[in-house]
Amino acid sequence: MTADDQPIPSVWTRPPRGRREQPALSRDQIVAEAIQLLDAEGLEALSMRKLGTRLGAGATSLYRHVANKDELIELVLDEVYGELHLPADAGEADWREVTAESAHAMRAMILRHPWLASVLSQVGTAYLGPNLMRLSEDMLTLLESAGFTLKEGENAMTTVFSYVIGITSAEAAMLTTLTRNGRTENEWAQQMIPAAQQAVASYPRLSALYAEYAGKDPKQTRDEDFTRGLDRILDGLAASRHDKG
């Protein structure tokens, strides 16, 4: 068998395993407990042995459902994507408003589960999961009904999702580091801004920029910056939209 003939290693492409008896644990139980562990302790704490202990079972019980940790990550990632839903009347609403709401919802999802920052760019087969496929189909339906061609809709969706994932993954990583070090974001800003202002003293544009940040709520600044960037992307998509009418 050549490399081209090898099946793609993914929980979504592996044929289901036959079972002679009903296992004590369900896949849903395993995934739910894995998400709780990830939210509480982060990606580095996840292991099949530790997860099995939390479930009161041996790691071998988990391997009846997943072949390895990578497959487990695929499952938990798609489960978290299940938190995202377009409004039932999305097809009748303004595409830009719904797309913006979806982008903000995705950002909130990543910040609720900051470990996502470490896996979103690593799981290339995540798009095969049923929740992400459902979300993608709904987004494409919305954009196509708004006048985008299918290809334009795909590009618009990918552009928005990539912006959200890129910006928010950096946010999540920073907030995780602060939590690990026992600092709040405001405490970090109070210590960092003076040092940053001193470091950029010989750079007039950076100095002016950091002076604007001084005294501002860092969370509010992050929210405003995210919305401003998203608006610019949506402006561009609206300007290039294929108009059927």
**In contact, 168 and 106? CB cutoff 8 Å:** yes
Please, what are the domains in the chain? 3-80 (1.10.10.60), 87-182+215-240 (1.10.357.10)
C-alpha neighbours within 13 Å on the C-beta side of residue 244: 9
Whether residue 163 has pLDDT greater than 80? yes
Rg (CA), the chain: 22
Whether residue 107 has pLDDT greater than 90? yes
Whether residue 8 has pLDDT greater than 70? no
Q: What average pLDDT does the segment 113-141 reach?
A: 83
- Tens of pLDDT, residue by residue over 79-94, are 999 999 998 777 667 9
Return the percent helix, strand and coil in the chain, to nearest 5. 70, 0, 30
Q: What average pLDDT does the segment 188-212 reach?
A: 89
Q: What is the pLDDT of residue 9?
A: 67
Q: What is the pLDDT of residue 135?
A: 94
Which tokens sit at 158?
């990918």
Q: What average pLDDT does the segment 41-60 reach?
A: 88
177-187 b/e (C-beta count within 10 Å ≥ 16 → b): eeeeeeeebee
Q: What is the pLDDT of residue 245?
A: 43
- Tens of pLDDT, residue by residue over 33-43, are 999 999 999 99
Q: What is the pLDDT of residue 232?
A: 97
pTM: 0.85
pLDDT-derived band at 176 (thresholds 50, 70, 90) equals: confident
What is the overall mean pLDDT for the chain? Answer: 86
Whether residue 239 has pLDDT greater than 80? yes
DSSP symbols for 84-112? ----TTGGGS-HHHHHHHHHHHHHHHHHH
**In contact, 119 and 209? CB cutoff 8 Å:** no
Q: What is the pLDDT of residue 104?
A: 97
Instruction: Calculate the CA dihedral of residues 108, 122, 129, 93 and round it to 10 degrees.
Output: 40
How far apart (Å, rounded) are the C-alpha atoms in residues 149 and 98? 18
Whether residue 122 has pLDDT greater than 70? no
How far apart (Å, rounded) are the C-alpha atoms in residues 162 and 237? 14
Least confident of 14-23, 28-37, 60-69, 182-191: 14-23
Q: What average pLDDT does the segment 134-163 reach?
A: 93
Q: Which helix (H) or strand (E) holds 161?
A: helix 150-180
Q: How many residues does the chain have?
A: 245
How far apart (Å, rounded) are the C-alpha atoms in residues 135 and 133? 5
DSSP class of residue 16?
P
Which tokens sit at 236?
């561009």
Q: What percent of the chain lies above the pLDDT cut of 90?
A: 52
DSSP class of residue 123?
-
Q: What is the pLDDT of residue 7?
A: 58
Higher pLDDT, 19 or 202: 202
Which tokens sit at 68?
């390895």
Residue 75, CA distances (Å) to 7, 179, 198 in order: 18, 26, 46
pLDDT-derived band at 23 (thresholds 50, 70, 90) equals: low
Higher pLDDT, 35 or 182: 35
